[in-house]
Amino acid sequence: MKNTPITDKHIALGAKMAEFAGYNMPIVYTTIQEEHQTVREGVGVFDVTHMGEFIVKGKEALDLVQWVTSNNASRLEIGQVQYSCFPNDKGGIVDDLLVYRLPEDKCAEGERAYLLVVNASNIDKDWDWINKHNKFDTSLENISDKTGLLAVQGPKAAEALQSLTDIDLKAMKYYTFEKGRFAGIDNVLVSATGYTGSGGFEIYADDKDLPAIWDAVFEAGADFGIKPIGLGARDTLRLEMGYCLYGNDINDETSPIEAGLGWITKTKNTDFISRDIFAQQRVDGITKKLVAFEVDGRRVPRHDYPIEDADGNEIGKVTSGTLSPSLGIPIGLGYVPKAFAAVDTEIFVSLGKKRLPAKVVKLPFYKV
């Protein structure tokens, strides 16, 4: 099991640690409820160094990114970020990811450079996939093991961090980034992105610099009530927004169209792996759809619980579920036939002999 450069800091803070994607990661420091509300109302810091990072660089770097991802990366200007996915060749999803168009100061004439940020559990799988499809004048570098990453999230994030950098954090638009000096360290990438729905930034740096950055962030954020946050609250925060989690809500068998990710699946005037499958799904329609639902009661729907219709027929499965800390009610995601996907449709979550009544709702569950 791997450690991040600040694992010892998590342990010293009393975090409950557990293995996640091969790393020894903090799951919770105090309670998920408390940490969740810290991010919703103030500012919290996640160690997400376990995520994967690939550099794509060369004269045909855009061609490779366009071929392996479903969104249209040609629209990216330097300093912009895009959410996308790697489709497999059967209309499923290899992984979801972020695509950064990097500055070209380190590129030769005619070259472009991109940073791809992938899920921790899929680093090896994604690396093999993109190398398999690299038939272009493009070089690839896996920098995952030497890149540290902090997510500083919440409405007070910009105020808490501003003293550490000359980058105007409040002026940064969502899904943009800048490189600059941060906490006295050069060449740090600060990105206005995150997985919580509460705003904030992700900070990419050399892993050897991460302990110093962590300390500086907590010193600068002390007056703003900054706190460390574990992966438990990361999951409840993303689920309240309806963000898909790879391995739960999307996988090699689910289409981005079925998962409600049609907005990152640009089938017009582009060509990419499985593009024709997705274009046909738009013409023919889909048979199942990922829906959000609220449960009537206090029991929490869990991954793989059956979803039933009023007559007790199994029509789908729960993919994610939790007791929403912000709303105080059980919420979940799951795939159902399209006939059951309309808002306010009644469905049931089966716990064996007991059935939980639920209704389909519109995302997000929680409006920030």
Q: Which residues are paired to 52 by β-bridges?
A: 118
Res. 368: pLDDT tops 90: no
Residues 6 or more apart in contact with residue 326 via CB below 8 angstroms: 36, 37, 40, 240, 366
Please list, residue by residue across 235-251, b when 16 or more beta carbons sit within 10 angstroms of its beta carbon and e when fewer do: bbbbbbbbbbbbebbbb
Helix, strand or coil for residue 301?
Answer: coil
- Give the Cα separation of 278 and 285 in Å (integer): 10
Average pLDDT, rounded, for the chain: 97
Domain range annotation of the chain: 1-283, 287-368
**pLDDT at residue number 36:** 98
**pLDDT at residue number 60:** 98
- Give the Cα separation of 103 and 160 in Å (integer): 27
Helix, strand or coil for residue 327?
Answer: coil
Q: What is the mean pLDDT of residues 295-323?
A: 96
Contact 201, 152 (CB under 8 A): yes
Q: What is the mean pLDDT of residues 33-45?
A: 98
**pLDDT at residue number 26:** 98
Identical fold between 1-283 and 287-368: no
In the chain, pLDDT over 70 holds for what percent of residues? 100
- Looking up tokens 């940490």, which residue turns up? 35
Alpha helices in 42-144 (DSSP H): 61-68, 123-132
Reported as a single tens digit per residue, the pLDDT across 174-186 is: 999 999 999 999 9
In the chain, pLDDT over 90 holds for what percent of residues? 99
pTM exceeds 0.95 for this model: yes
CATH placement of domain 1-283: 3.30.1360.120
Res. 350: pLDDT tops 90: yes
Reported as a single tens digit per residue, the pLDDT across 14-36 is: 999 999 999 999 999 999 999 99
- Give the Cα separation of 305 and 302 in Å (integer): 6
**pLDDT at residue number 209:** 98
Res. 352: pLDDT tops 90: no
Contact 113, 40 (CB under 8 A): no
Reported as a single tens digit per residue, the pLDDT across 246-276 is: 999 999 999 999 999 999 999 998 999 999 9
Span of 8-12, 248-252, 343-347, 351-355 with lowest mean pLDDT = 351-355
Of the CATH numbers 3.20.20.80, 3.40.50.1820, 2.20.25.190, 2.40.30.110, which one belongs to the domain with range 287-368?
2.40.30.110
Reported as a single tens digit per residue, the pLDDT across 78-132 is: 999 999 999 999 999 999 999 999 999 989 999 999 999 999 999 999 999 999 9
